Amino acid sequence: MTHEVVFAAEARDDLIQLYLYIAERAGDVRALGYIERIESHCRGFADFPERGTRRDDLFPGLRVIGFGRRVTIAFGIQAATVTVYRILYGGRDLSALLDEDQS
């Protein structure tokens, strides 16, 4: 079964902030390429959603998976949808960000 992959507003904001961070340091072309690779990786959840590590201790149904060496992707699986909740760069605190998102 193929799932639809959607990005929560916070995940889209994370991608924008990551793009700006990389573009400032390495240029627009490199930043865009990196963001596109992350998005492509996330779209791969459509066919194989049950990847990553379950983190029910943080949020029921939450899964996390790494991308490259510095990105953590937090997502959840619903009936026919995979929702990407956050895309965190450089060791940001997932627990604190999820608490912030829910307030």
Q: What would be the CATH architecture of the domain defined by 4-102?
A: 2-Layer Sandwich (3.30)
pLDDT computed for residue 59 by the predictor: 87
Q: Provide the residue ranges of all domains of the chain, joining segments of one domain with +.
A: 4-102
Per-residue pLDDT tens digits for 33-90 = 999 999 999 999 999 999 999 999 998 999 999 998 899 999 999 999 999 999 999 7
Residue 62 in tokens: 């939450």
Name every residue whose Cβ is closer than 8 Å to that of residue 51 and which is 6 or more positions away in sequence.
45, 63, 65
CA 28 from chain centre, in angstroms, equals 20
Find tokens 């965190």 and name the residue. Answer: 88
Please state, in angstroms and rounded to a whole number, the distance separating the CA atoms of residues 103 and 89. 22
pLDDT-derived band at 98 (thresholds 50, 70, 90) equals: low
Q: Is the pLDDT of residue 99 over 70?
A: no
Question: Which tokens sit at 88?
Answer: 């965190």
pLDDT, position 11: 97
Paired residues of 65 in beta bridges = 73
